Amino acid sequence: MACIRLFLLLSLLLGLLSGPSRYAIGADSITRPDSIDAVGAFSSLVLDTAGFPVVSYYDDTNDDLKLMHCNDVNCASNDESITRPDTTGEIGSLSSLVLDAAGFPIVSYWDAANNDLKLMHCNDPNCGGSDESITSPDTAGEVGQYPSLALDTAGFPVVSYHDGTNGDLKLLHCNDPNCSGNDESITSPITTGVGFPSLLLDANGFPVITSGVKILHCNDPNCSGNDESITSPDMTGGGSPSLVLDANGFPVVSYGNGNLKLLHCNDANCSGNDESITLSGNAGGDTSLVLDANGFPVVSYTEVGSSDLKLLHCNDANCSDNDESITTLDSAVYYLSLALDAAGFPVISYYDSGDLKLLHCNDANCASNNESITSPDTIGDVGLYTSLVLDEAGFPIVSYYDETNRDLKLYSAAPTTATPTNTPSSTPTLTLIPTTTATATSPNLRTATPTLTPTSNSTATATFTTTPSSTSTLVPTPQDTLTATATNTPIAIPTNMPTPITGATMTPTTTSTPVGTSSSFTLFLPVVVR
């Protein structure tokens, strides 16, 4: 019984005096997960369900498509999966990457040797095994540049791309996950005024594409029938368009033509010649658009001439009234990628004079002149072709190109996997000061009746009346006074366990002896008298 009490006491003390579990958190990570040959240009980055980066990119030395799937959030273990799933000809530039429902990569890209559109659908998360599905669904003329890829609700690929031979916008909608069978839907819904396309699917799965100064909204999944909605809501032109859909499915587009312009359609097709078109400052290229929680546009862009980094945050859905927030954040920058954190604060990755830079604003408008601007990688000429995502915790992850070493690089502010250290805030030292009290028991005694006569000094006298044939056996029950002192020394193993003392009358003594000078307390175990 005494051993059980002692075990429970030790468990209680450890629970009370141990501090909360602490977790080891990793610092910012910059890795060079692929440094073989000239690799890493035109990267496309997504995260898998575990938050691990998946990147498609171009191998310029071998003219190959490469794919990396990391096995940790920082791609830091030097054992990432890096494959060359397509090595036929000069292929892999201008890739667009998504993951299917199983987490298997699907990549659309340009075959520069044959001027074809190509599509790869991997049958495993790493595109390993050299048995992926690779097809050329469109080979008519010089096609496949600037692909933009999405998946419909069935997981079938939808790709918008450029037809260089005819100057058309083309759209591919596959009728199977691999675009096999040579019977896919291929249409040319826009044949004039075509620029770099940007593709989204509406709630019905119908394509919405901005290309140059035109907006295409198809009325079927394949954009067939030659009756699609094609509008030119701004006849003055524009470049570097960035497209999103608002909560109603109405297109919102940022673009530049010497000025930053924003188009917000008041219907799904941008028809009626009454759309909202507003001007907000001098814009060059690299417009990047997102909508905040209210549906108000947020646009990062570069200014004409100076290439200054600027941010527009509208206070209404159409950026009207000429009172929007416009701030200048940095100078001489390129390759912008914009996201909003959970609080709605902008995060932008970009290239600045040979460095990778990351801006994280501490307010929604980046207006306090004390935003966080860091240069996480300044070694060599780095930071081109940035692709930014935020993980579930809001930590930035950026893939980019190292021009000096011609390598793919990855920056991650995400913490490493949390490792419990369970470091106690203080470790208890136990000092045991035993005092023994005996309790008389008589196994053969039927009429024994104890009488307790306490004295002023807490001495209990047990008196028993027995029959002549009974024999009393006294089994001492210890009463220990434990003084626990929290120090930073290992746990002491209790010693000085009490030695049983026989006798009919035992005298308990109450002792409290403090140890050390730190905060301490005394615990008493109860005396049981039978």
Q: Is residue 458 part of a domain?
A: yes
User: Nearest CA to 231 among 190, 200, 283?
Assistant: 190
For the segment 42-60, the average pLDDT, to the nearest whole number, is: 95
Who has greater pLDDT, 420 or 306? 306
Could you tell me the CA-to-CA distances from 436 to 459, 462, 481, 484, 527 in Å, in that order?
12, 15, 10, 19, 9
Query: Is-contact 411 362, C-beta < 8 A?
Result: no
For the segment 393-414, the average pLDDT, to the nearest whole number, is: 92
**49 and 134 co-located in one domain:** yes
Residue 428 pLDDT greater than 60, yes or no = no
Who has greater pLDDT, 11 or 23? 11
Q: Is residue 504 part of a domain?
A: yes
**91 and 159 co-located in one domain:** no
Task: Print the domain residue range for 76.
Answer: 26-138+380-418
Question: Would you state the pLDDT for residue 413?
Answer: 87
Domain boundary among 232, 260, 288: 232
CATH of the domain at 227: 2.20.25
Q: Is residue 215 part of a domain?
A: yes
Domain boundary among 168, 201, 232: 232
**518 and 428 co-located in one domain:** yes
**396 and 445 co-located in one domain:** no
pTM for the model stands at 0.72
**400 and 459 co-located in one domain:** no
Question: Would you state the pLDDT for residue 369?
Answer: 83
Q: Is residue 37 part of a domain?
A: yes
User: Whole-angstrom Cα distance, residue 107 to residue 233?
Assistant: 32
Block residue for tokens 């000809």: 89
| Coarse DSSP helix, strand, coil percentages of the chain, rounded to the nearest 5 percent | 5, 45, 50
Block residue for tokens 């599509």: 119
Q: Is residue 355 part of a domain?
A: no
Residue 479 pLDDT greater than 50, yes or no = no
For the segment 32-60, the average pLDDT, to the nearest whole number, is: 93
Q: Is residue 278 part of a domain?
A: no
**387 and 466 co-located in one domain:** no
Domain boundary among 388, 418, 448: 418
Q: Is residue 239 part of a domain?
A: no
**34 and 73 co-located in one domain:** yes
Distance of alpha carbon 310 from its chain centroid, rounded?
26
Q: Is residue 30 part of a domain?
A: yes
pLDDT digits (tens, 9 = 90+) for 219-273: 999 999 889 999 988 877 677 789 999 999 999 999 887 788 899 999 999 998 8
**439 and 513 co-located in one domain:** yes
Query: What is the number of structural domains in the chain?
Result: 3
> Of all residues in the chain, what percent carry a pLDDT higher than 90?
57
